[in-house]
Amino acid sequence: MRPLAELVAGGGVLVLSGAGLSTESGIPDYRGETGQRQRARSTEQPMTYQRFTGSAAARRRYWARSHLGWRHIAGARPNGGHLAVAELQARGLVGAVITQNVDGLHQAAGARDVVELHGALSRVVCLACGGRTPRGHLERRLREANPGWAGRAEAVNPDGDVALDDAAVDAFRTVGCDRCGGPLKPDVVFFGENVPPARVAECYALTEAARALLVLGSSLTVMSGLRFVRHAARLGVPVAIVNRGATRGDAHAALTLDAPLGTALAALLAELGPAVAPGTVPSA
């Protein structure tokens, strides 16, 4: 832990977080241990952008399942890992946070300057007019459109999707945009969809301005996060990775640590010692 503490103690750290940071809040990941268990129990594949936009039936299936799964996501609370990131920010050691997660738990823990690389489940966007509304507003409309609906959630996925039988899906009624009537989509980047270019450019700029890049709980399997690790390495910005298991970015890292995120970040804070108030001279 000492090498990681020495890296972070210098400040100017950019955090890149993934699903592994939220598993201790009860939200499974896709590629780690919890995600593998979920896939073993389900024949469903994650929704793709092409299926969602190309089929009203696919949208109904998604919203029926997500209507139940959202309750689980909305009820999740930040764990020790999220709180540790917010504490490192409060100490002035961590600047911005790039997160691949769509659960909003960094902000709930008190983190600021969070770039949601893949969007947020707490927002809904109309595919016709582009209008955005809070997820809570849609949930009220869906409840009103489906009185007495008997769907029951089973396993919950990282994107708020759940396993649901066909009869419950067929009985579910979707709603359109209350401005123009167009189809609604969660304001997240689906599989097969590109991250908005302006967001990517912002993350590259943050990487270039960082003194160090700290990856937390990401396998870096997909290029959306790995590209920033590669960019940091090309620039000579040291990369540290804390994750359960190997990652696709390990070859670019100056330091890797295979450990549970909550435990590792608690140990990091302990190694750094207590926070010092501004203007206070540390004792010898």
Q: Which residues are the active-site residues?
A: 118
Q: How far apart are CA 124 and CA 81, in angstroms?
A: 27
Terminal-to-terminal C-alpha distance of the chain? 23
Helix axes 261-272, 80-90, angle to 10 degrees: 30
Tokens of 178: 């209350």
**Cα separation, 75 vs 64, whole angstroms:** 18
219 labelled as ligand-binding?
Answer: yes
Residues paired with 115 in a beta bridge: 98
Q: Is 29 exposed, middle or buried (0-12, 13-18, 19+ CB in 10 A)?
A: buried
CB 262 within 8 A of CB 80: yes
Residue 141 class from Cβ within 10 Å (0-12 exposed, 13-18 middle, 19+ buried)? middle
CA gyration radius, the chain: 20
- Answer yes or no: is 157 a known binding residue: no
Helix axis angle for 223-235 and 197-209, nearest 10°, is 30
203 is in an annotated binding site: no
261 among annotated binding-site residues? yes
Is 211 marked as binding a ligand?
no
What is the C-alpha to C-alpha distance for residues 13 and 122, in angstroms, rounded to an integer? 27
For residue 100, say whether it is annotated as part of any ligand binding site.
Answer: yes
Q: Could you tell me if 195 and 118 are in contact, meaning their C-beta atoms sit under 8 angstroms apart?
A: yes
Q: Is 66 annotated as a binding residue?
A: no
Joined together, the tokens standing for residue 213 give 């890049």
Q: Is 180 annotated as a binding residue?
A: yes
Token pair 């917010």: residue: 86
Q: Does the annotation place 103 within a ligand binding site?
A: yes
Residue numbers in the known binding site for Zn(2+) are 126, 129, 177, 180
Residues annotated in a binding site for NAD(+): 100-103, 217-219, 243-245, 261
Query: Could you tell me which residues are annotated as the binding site?
Result: 100-103, 126, 129, 177, 180, 217-219, 243-245, 261
